[in-house]
Amino acid sequence: MYYYSCIMKKSKVIAIAAPTATGKSKLAVELAHKYDGEVVSADSRLVYKGFEIAVAKPTLEEREGIPHHVIDVVEPEINYTVANFYDDATKAINDILNRGKLPIIAGGTGLYFRILLEGFDLPRVEPNPELREELSTLELADLVEILRKLDEKTLENMITPEKRKVIRAIEVCKGLGKPMSEVACQKEVPYNVEWIGINMPREEIYDRVNKRVDIMIENGLINETKALLAKHGRIPNFVKTIGYQEILQYLDGEIDLDRAIELIKQHSRNYAKRQLTWFRRNKALGID
């Protein structure tokens, strides 16, 4: 079930925001064919080159000749920030509009949508290598508590409080000398945004997630994980990605394959649940 809501701004864009395994990519391609559009990805894992099966990156065949932007942007060693996404996505949208086509933004990373289409403006603070090195020695649970004391609102806005994201949030708060959420401001969005939410029962989403994981295994997730490990080693963006992290446990002999598959499904369902919580905040999506 698709739910449409229009917010009047300027140039028209379509935004498809929904949890994993709900058919966002397919719908985006269908709409692109229908309305002469191009797709702009709003997914934090699709930006990495070589990440294919585990992140359900649309194949060239699935893209059906429709140009896709903000996909395969950087190598996995690169720390791709929200600011990087905003710059890349804005450039892509403007380019698409200038060519008289319709931008269709599709993905599941809530913060990306908030920055790009809801007018939420993050302050830009330069990296602090010394602070990062100090914080990197701490466990995620300890970092979460530090951020909670500095800026609980920003912590609550994270779908998944990964170590890298939490360290960056702490870095920004300390650089500003105040909570990031207090400094972040609303700005006018230069687009007429037509939001599309994909609404389906939670159990149906979970069933689709489970089936997708089985397909990932059949399509070669294990070999893809081996190839990425050989090329990049155990870099954070690789080992923290659902799908790769569990297969790595299997390859290390820590768990058997059945358990790895079970964990991928469990972690993917948990992620979908967090996405649902995030997207419910945007009433225009109509997600229950």
Look at residue 159 and tell me whether its pLDDT is greater than 80. Answer: no
**Single-letter amino acid, residue 200:** M
The tally of domains found in the chain comes to: 3
The pLDDT-based confidence of 9 (bands split at 50, 70, 90) is: very low
Paired sense of beta strands 37-41 and 11-17, if any: unpaired
Mean pLDDT of 205-222: 98
Q: How confident is the model at residue 61 (pLDDT cuts 50, 70, 90)?
A: very high
111 vs 117: CA distance, rounded Å? 10
* pLDDT given for residue 185 in this prediction: 64
Question: Who has greater pLDDT, 249 or 282?
Answer: 249
Domain end call among 172, 200, 228: 200
Q: Tell whether 54 and 194 lie within a shared domain.
A: yes
- Say if residue 27 is in the same domain as residue 106: yes
- What integer is the mean pLDDT of 56-82? 96
**Mean pLDDT lowest for which of 20-29, 175-184, 278-287?**
278-287
Residues 76 and 58 in one domain: yes
Residues 6+ apart with CB under 8 A from 182: 151
Lowest-confidence region among 4-13, 93-102, 162-171 = 4-13
For residues 91 and 195, state if they share a domain.
yes
Query: What local confidence, expressed as pLDDT, does residue 40 receive?
Result: 99
Residues 195 and 240 reside in one and the same domain: no
* 3-class secondary-structure state, position 279: helix
The answer to whether the pTM exceeds 0.85 is: no
> Residue 214 in 3-state DSSP?
helix
In a domain, 288, yes or no: no
- State which residues form the domain around 194: 2-122+187-200
**278 domain residue, yes or no:** no
Token pair for residue 114? Answer: 């908030």
**Residue 210 lies inside a defined structural domain of this protein:** yes
pLDDT mean across residues, the chain:
91
| Gap between the Cα atoms of 36 and 101, Å rounded | 6
Per-residue model confidence as pLDDT tens digits over 234-281: 999 999 999 999 999 999 999 999 999 999 999 999 999 999 988 887
CATH of the domain at 85: 3.40.50.300
> Could you read off the pLDDT of 38-53 as tens digits, one per residue?
999 999 999 999 999 9
